[in-house]
Chain A
Amino acid sequence: MTVGTYDRVPALETGGHAAPAASQLTRLWESKPGISGWLSTVDHKELGKRYLATAFIFLALGGIEALMMRLQLAQPNQHLLTPEQYNQLFSMHGITMIFLYAQPILSGFSVYLFPLILGTRDMAFPRMNAFSYWVYLAAGLFMYASFLVGAAPNDGWFNYVPFALKPYNPGPNMDFYALGMILLGISTTAGAANFLVTMLRTRAAGMSINRLPILTWGTTTTSVGILFSMPAVSLAFFMLWLDRQFGTHFFDSTARGQPLLWQHLFWMFAHPWVYIIVLPAMGIVSDALPIFCRRPLVGYTVVVLATIATMVMGFGVWLHHMFATGLPFLALSFFSGASFVITIPSAVAVFAWIATIWTGRPVITTAFLFFAGFISMFVIGGVSGVMTASVPADRQLTDTYFVVAHIHYVLIGINLFPVMGGLYVWFPKMTGRMLNERLGRWNFWMVFIGFNLAFLPMHWTGLAGMPRRIYTYPDGMGWGTVNMVTTVGSFVLALGVLLLLINVAISRRHGAVAGPNPWDGPTLEWTTPSPPPPYNFATMPAVASRHPLWEDRLEEGMGKSSLQRGMVLANGKEMLAVTPLDGLPDAILKMPEDSYSPLVATILMTAGFTGLLLHWWWFAGACVFLLLACLVVWLWPERTLGQIAGARHV
């Protein structure tokens, strides 16, 4: 190997977190105290926690919207809400839960955990990480601002044309949604790019791809899914906005446009999106459930392959949302078949989890209960999904409460349950304190009972013929009792979620002290103190197996991981880059300092979108110009980042 101009032999230290370099690393990596540090930080741990907190706030908002609807529907012929208010509430409920809670909460876990479980110090693009968070927050506020002018989106989360077009929906409702979703798409895409490059390039040495924790597989797979699917919906919303503001003819059939194009573009995105908001949650379970079964996951390889297969097939089933639109028989048959086939990889994962519990020695904690609950809810949601994969059944069930029950089993069962379980597992890592287990049991059982009470009878509501999205219903349809049960269940569920928030509020100050590895977990995040220091790892770990902390017990590796002795990389903010497949050391990366650029870029972009909303074209143009200037400043080569020739920052 020839030694290049910019090469360096990395220094080695022993002692892990007690290594002599630790104090120097703290100075290098910690954010400034106070408001300036808060606004400019690029620390993934801080941003991950912000993602989680923000997503939980949106969960609460979406939950309150749901409870208002449940009060309205509790009995026939009620008039707590006007039809228009009801429309806005069910639309914002869907938008909030699906776009502002379900995916960002998983990003929160991944932003927090990626560098820790991969054995590195930050994401591959720390400033872009901050940018993703700020833009997510801005997009959420942008869409919620619609309530302030009484014009929230009112056409459901899938927003079908022609009702979304100007002649039928002249207010700014749809413009808030269209522009807000394009803004949110920028955040999601930037986040996905960051996860993908982080997984490929910045891991512990020796962490070849067959040693990656499954959580990273889930998030990386869905990141690829996001990169390929997000443009469909951004484009669809852009076209909708053009149709509304500039008289184009994409979606109205008067000038050879086609309303069904909206449905195609929307579902080409939104079906993969369903997997995008569940696969990382399944990754959480695949990594965390084995800790409580005291054994490695059964079938690591097939679970990884099933994850990827699900995502790939997820791109080939979008038409099953459109079975009732009069498409050709051949297309229906093909997509129905594909929708049946996609259950196979999901079933593989389910059997792997069951086998892990079956052959392990389960320790019943709140987290374990949430994961076990997740598996059973996933089975119910999966079965009701398969039922609608059949064209004749779907034609009967579509647009009834059966589909509403299905989507809630999928989204609450496969997203909220793992998220809550995951919080019990990693909260100690984030705060250094355990969540209260006693309160945890109440939390779990309230959620579990409330959820099933609310949504299991809802299948029957649908079979009894009650259409979704009606603001009230007449007496004598036989829907009254079951709706009352659902309303009661939804309030029990909400109280259960509230218990979690109470638990978090109490435990972050008064919980039992956790220590580095309270659950005796096998992966790298459990080697760091809780909460981890700003630099995560003082010396770079090098791993020899999937379970570096269980090696003594498992004897599965080719040797022993080196967790105490490794490269220091303390000549400025530095991280190790590895080769994508084998995880061999490849380069030393220079990492950026805290920066205001992400926040400034976000403000300019949001101002620009507001300009578009208000038709202030010159203002929007000025924002674009300033945004470009901001990006040039952001990306300007820096000597300390080793981007300028001759500067010997090695």
Chain B
Amino acid sequence: MSDATIRPEALPVGSIGRKASGWWGMLTILMTEGALFAYLLFSYYYFAVQYGRGFLPDELPKFRLSLPDTIILLISSVFVWWGERGAKRGANLQLVFGLLGTLILGVVFVGVQLLEWRDKPFTIGSSSYASLYFTITGFHMAHVIAGLIMLSAVMVWSLLRYFDAERNSPVSIAAVYWHFVDIVWLIVFFTIYVTPRLW
């Protein structure tokens, strides 16, 4: 047994970047949440295969609101990435502004989604398509809101100066969740808005 294993020279103590258990815990959450959306989309494609075009509503979902909304969400991911980079340099102000930008864009995204919901001619009980449309986008919106709550907490903590260049795990944890929510949206967007036009 080498002595270095029994006694290393020096070890970081406490919550340091991606060595924190919370980071690993978040990765497990992403695994299971990713699976959740896979099953949601499985249900969508299953119906699509079973019923063909008859599954879709008469009026296909439009890009007028959804495309700008997608771009808004993508930009928000850039903001959180920029803020996290700041955190790792110990630049607290950059972190705060990065988070603020993400929060604003995230709230706008949710607002636009709600507009889109309001404009739908059907309700959740109209057809299997309507049920799935609201369930999938609803699940995604719930995840966006969860991300907004996480980022708000991280912002409060950064305003309280809880973080420096080494102690900043919550920033990375919330950021990776936000990126995940973004990627999921791209897949949801492709499924609901793009695929009906490919048939």
Chain A residues packing against B (C-beta within 8 Å): 1, 3-10, 12, 124-125, 128, 189, 192-193, 196-197, 200-202, 205-206, 224, 227-232, 234-235, 239, 242, 246-250, 255-258, 261, 264-265, 268, 542-544, 559-562, 565-567, 571, 574, 576-577, 584-590, 628, 632, 635, 637, 641-646, 649-650
B180 → chain A closest CB, angstroms: 14
B195 within 8 A of A: no
Which of B31, B38, B46, B161 touches A645 (beta carbons < 8 Å)? B161
Q: Mark B146-187, 1 if CB is under 8 A from A, else 0.
A: 000100010001000111101111100000000000000000
Whether A577 contacts B21 by the Cβ 8 Å rule is yes
Given contacts A246-B125, A544-B1, contact A205 B21 (CB under 8 A): no
Chain B residues lying within 8 Å of A4, measured Cβ to Cβ, are 12, 16, 166
Q: Bound complex: CA of A506 vs CA of B28, how far in Å?
A: 42
Which of B14, B21, B32 touches A125 (beta carbons < 8 Å)? B21
Which of A128, A258, A265, A632 touches B39 (beta carbons < 8 Å)? A265
Given contacts A255-B127, A643-B167, A645-B163, contact A584 B5 (CB under 8 A): yes
Q: Bound complex: CA of A644 vs CA of B12, how far in Å?
A: 14
- 9 intermolecular pairs with C-beta atoms under 8 Å apart: A124-B21, A224-B31, A228-B32, A247-B124, A247-B125, A542-B6, A584-B5, A587-B12, A637-B15
Q: Bound complex: CA of A9 vs CA of B10, how far in Å?
A: 4
Whether B21 contacts A227 by the Cβ 8 Å rule is no
Whether B131 contacts A250 by the Cβ 8 Å rule is yes
Q: Mark B16-48, 1 if CB is under 8 A from A, else 0.
A: 100101001100110111011011101100110
B162 → chain A closest CB, angstroms: 5
Given contacts A197-B21, A255-B126, contact A643 B31 (CB under 8 A): no
B71 → chain A closest CB, angstroms: 29
Whether B28 contacts A567 by the Cβ 8 Å rule is no
A599 → chain B closest CB, angstroms: 20
Whether B13 contacts A587 by the Cβ 8 Å rule is yes
Whether A196 contacts B21 by the Cβ 8 Å rule is no
Of the candidate stretches B49-57, B62-70, B97-105, B112-120, the one touching chain A is: B49-57
Whether B32 contacts A227 by the Cβ 8 Å rule is yes
Residues of A contacting B: mostly: mixed
Chain A residues lying within 8 Å of B36, measured Cβ to Cβ, are 231, 234-235
B59 → chain A closest CB, angstroms: 16
Whether B24 contacts A7 by the Cβ 8 Å rule is no
Whether A590 contacts B24 by the Cβ 8 Å rule is no
B28 → chain A closest CB, angstroms: 4
Given contacts A201-B21, A231-B35, A242-B131, contact A590 B14 (CB under 8 A): yes
B32 (CB) vs chain A CBs: closest residue: A227
Q: Bound complex: CA of A434 vs CA of B2, how far in Å?
A: 37
Q: Bound complex: CA of A239 vs CA of B36, how far in Å?
A: 13
Chain A residues lying within 8 Å of B191, measured Cβ to Cβ, are none
Chain B residues lying within 8 Å of A264, measured Cβ to Cβ, are 42, 46
Chain A residues lying within 8 Å of B12, measured Cβ to Cβ, are 4, 6-7, 587-588
Residues of B contacting A: mostly: helix
Chain A residues lying within 8 Å of B14, measured Cβ to Cβ, are 6, 588-590, 641-643, 649-650
Whether B126 contacts A261 by the Cβ 8 Å rule is no
Which of B28, B46, B126, B169 touches A258 (beta carbons < 8 Å)? B46
Given contacts A3-B10, A645-B161, contact A637 B128 (CB under 8 A): no
Whether A250 contacts B43 by the Cβ 8 Å rule is yes
Whether A261 contacts B13 by the Cβ 8 Å rule is no
Q: Bound complex: CA of A574 vs CA of B21, how far in Å?
A: 13
Which of B33, B47, B54, B170 touches A637 (beta carbons < 8 Å)? B170
Chain A residues lying within 8 Å of B198, measured Cβ to Cβ, are none
Given contacts A586-B19, A637-B170, contact A193 B25 (CB under 8 A): yes
A251 → chain B closest CB, angstroms: 9
Whether B11 contacts A249 by the Cβ 8 Å rule is no
Whether B2 contacts A567 by the Cβ 8 Å rule is no
Chain B residues lying within 8 Å of A197, measured Cβ to Cβ, are 21, 24-25, 28
B9 within 8 A of A: yes
B7 within 8 A of A: yes
Given contacts A248-B131, A250-B131, contact A6 B40 (CB under 8 A): no
A169 → chain B closest CB, angstroms: 19
Chain A residues lying within 8 Å of B8, measured Cβ to Cβ, are 10, 584-585
With most chain B CB atoms within 10 A of its CB, the pick from A1, A3, A202, A577 is A577
Whether A642 contacts B13 by the Cβ 8 Å rule is yes
Whether A231 contacts B162 by the Cβ 8 Å rule is no
Chain B residues lying within 8 Å of A544, measured Cβ to Cβ, are 1
Q: Bound complex: CA of A633 vs CA of B31, how far in Å?
A: 25
Whether A229 contacts B19 by the Cβ 8 Å rule is no
Q: Bound complex: CA of A586 vs CA of B5, how far in Å?
A: 10
Chain B residues lying within 8 Å of A206, measured Cβ to Cβ, are 1, 5
Chain B residues lying within 8 Å of A231, measured Cβ to Cβ, are 32-33, 35-36, 38-39
Whether B132 contacts A250 by the Cβ 8 Å rule is yes
Chain A residues lying within 8 Å of B40, measured Cβ to Cβ, are 235
Q: Bound complex: CA of A202 vs CA of B21, how far in Å?
A: 9
Chain B residues lying within 8 Å of A201, measured Cβ to Cβ, are 21, 24
Q: Bound complex: CA of A544 vs CA of B2, how far in Å?
A: 9
Whether A249 contacts B127 by the Cβ 8 Å rule is yes
A473 → chain B closest CB, angstroms: 37
